[in-house]
Amino acid sequence: MTGHHTMIQSLTGADLEEVRPLCWSFLYFFCLLCGYYILRPVRDEMAIEGGVQHLPWMMTATFATMLVATPLFGYVSARVSRERLLLTVYAFFASHLVGFFLLMSSHVAPQWIARVFFVWLSVFNLFVVSVFWSFMADIFRPEQGTRFFSIIAAGGSTGAMVGPLVTTGLTYLLPIPALMLVSAALLGMCWLCIRALDRWSKQQPGHAPEHVMERRGEAIGGSMWAGMRLALSSRYLLGICAYLFLLTTTATFLYLEQTRLVGEQVASAQGRTRLFAVVDLAVNVLTFLAQLFVTGPMISRFGLASALVLLPAASVVGFAVIGAMPILLSFILFTIVRRVGEYAIAKPAREVLFTVLNREEKYKAKNFIDTAVSRGGDAVTGWIVNAVKAIGIAATQMTWALIPVAVVWGCLGWWLARQEERKRLEPPQP
């Protein structure tokens, strides 16, 4: 075991006492995203089968669900300890997966079940990933976050690579509904990781009053609306909201246009599913490599600002390319580049921004930002695209209009990095 620890230390730069939580965190995120990516190809095909023209409605339904779910999450998190909160969230979603298995197996109202599943999976992804990163920001110190978050994110990318392969293999052996049970089992593995990490965290010396509070097993506290209030009352958190909103706006436009082109140019459901799977696999392989060999050294050498600005800068180039050549291949290639940039670089960097906040901000404000703000961006963008097309403006013209949006997005990333550096030097607030 010592030999394994030494090897992990040399690869990650972790101290001996940091190896165990780093491995548990890697496994936790692996299981989480593997479970999600087992189901994602099913969701994307359901989007096309349900009609691309209905996507804004499904995105709006997702946003509305978030508006209801976020204060409920705030209510629960105000009353239970961190460990119980995490276990409750994952048990909640695992039980839903069992329910979808039963409903899909019975073939009751398949179109409505498909629509509900599209919305549910969008909510599931944001909530479980948001809670995961809140947990990471809570148990690791800011300087540990800059060293480890890209490595932990690589665990998720590994799971994201394995998930589509599992889906492809199991569809030859099992009916589609059985994938729900496989994903639920992986959420059960997340439980084990949470218990191990929570025990490790409570054994560490307290770095701030909130750590002492957590070792006593106390709840996070605050009101059910605290997440929204905190996010809207802080310039720093409002900046993170705006950064995520602009990221989501550009991503949703690409998703809508790529989905429309795939639906028009690829005739069969099997062909569309395979294409989505190939794109997912390419994204996840490149993301994994970037997380291991690019993100950490980039942040360490050039600072957090470089990681937050890189994706907006790449988006300026990408929108110019698809504006000049608005074909399916251009959209697919830019989608791959953008998603790799988001998952491998922008996402770990954005999570570092939360390490300088207190526990209530980490769990409640972060959850509001990651869920309601993100899905609000989806819904708003979907309706804007539909409205703009209705008055005769082509997608190519919208592409050029997104270039200055990406410039503003990049400037915001630079400002957030400066603010994080300033807050890092301040004592944490209880």
pLDDT digits (tens, 9 = 90+) for 280-327: 888 888 888 887 788 778 877 888 999 999 999 999 999 999 999 988
pLDDT at position 207, please?
46
pLDDT digits (tens, 9 = 90+) for 385-396: 888 877 877 777
Rounded to the nearest integer, the mean pLDDT of the chain is 81
Please give the structure tokens belonging to residue 170: 């199991």
Phi, psi of 219 (to 5 degrees): -70, 165
Per-residue pLDDT of the chain (430 residues; tens, 9 = 90+): 455 555 555 555 556 677 888 889 999 999 999 999 888 877 776 666 666 677 788 888 888 887 787 777 777 767 777 778 888 888 999 999 999 999 888 877 777 888 888 888 888 887 788 788 888 888 888 777 777 787 888 888 889 889 888 877 787 787 878 889 999 999 999 989 999 998 888 877 654 444 444 444 455 545 446 677 888 889 999 999 999 999 999 998 988 888 888 888 877 766 776 787 788 888 888 888 887 788 778 877 888 999 999 999 999 999 999 999 988 899 999 999 999 999 888 988 888 898 888 777 877 788 788 777 887 888 888 888 888 877 877 777 889 989 999 999 999 999 999 999 898 877 655 4
pLDDT at position 14, please?
57
pLDDT at position 82, please?
76
pLDDT at position 150, please?
77
| pTM of full prediction above 0.75 | no
Report, in angstroms and rounded to the nearest whole number, the Rg of the chain calculated over CA atoms: 21
pLDDT at position 7, please?
52
pLDDT at position 317, please?
96
CATH number belonging to domain 16-424? 1.20.1250.20
